[in-house]
Amino acid sequence: MCINSYIVFYNVQVDKDITKRIIKAMIRSVALYAAETWTYKKEDIRRLEGFEMWVWIKMEKICWRDMKTNEEVGLLQVVREERSLMEVIWRRKKNSIGHILRGESLLREVTEGRMIGKRSRGRKRLGMLNEFLTELSYAELKRKAENRGRCEEYGSKEPA
């Protein structure tokens, strides 16, 4: 089923709650495809938050020529939404890491960085676990991942 963006964003007859649900179901899901495998820098986070605001501005039909900032518009109060894109990504990433660490697979070996062979030259790349190891040790992270019930308790903090 193909929904024309004109119908979603510009049609007056479509209720705002329905428009928000369509945005969350279709646009956000495409934008966050495989987001749990990405490693984030501050610039990436800034761009994702900008994308989220851009979607809500398009929904409210605010023209860029009006030169209004998000604070002036009170955009999040008008839309009645909070910035939740990075929270969604962070939750998906925690679930993914927990799933990987519970199993015995090649993906776990790669994620932990225990590959056989010669290390490549240059600066070491950011790994998937780096964001989690700032607040917990690897042993604590693995223990919480194995205990499925408590896996969601840790790390409500967003990545820096």
pLDDT by 10-residue block (mean), the chain, 160 residues: 58 76 86 85 90 84 79 70 84 84 78 72 72 76 73 46
Whether 82 and 65 have beta carbons less than 8 Å apart is answered as: no
* Confidence (pTM): 0.67
- The residue among 31, 66, 83 that closes a domain is 83
Residue 109 belongs to domain spanning: 88-115+126-150
Amino acid at 112: E
User: What is the tally of structural domains in the chain?
Assistant: 2
Domain co-membership, 9 together with 79:
yes
Q: Spell 35-65 as b/e; 16+ CB within 10 A means b.
A: bbeeebeeeebeebeeebbebbbebeebeee
Instruction: Output the six-digit token pair for 57.
Output: 């501005």
Instruction: Please tell me the predicted confidence (pLDDT) of residue 43.
Output: 93
Task: Considering only CA atoms, give the Rg of the chain.
Answer: 20
Is 120 contained in some domain?
no
In a domain, 96, yes or no: yes
pLDDT at res. 157: 45
Tell me how far apart the alpha carbons of residues 143 and 121 are, in angstroms, rounded to a whole number.
33
The answer on 40 and 100 residing in a single domain is: no
Q: Provide the CA 109 distance to its chain's centre, in angstroms.
A: 24
Contact 78, 57 (CB under 8 A): no
Check residue 115 and give its pLDDT.
Answer: 67
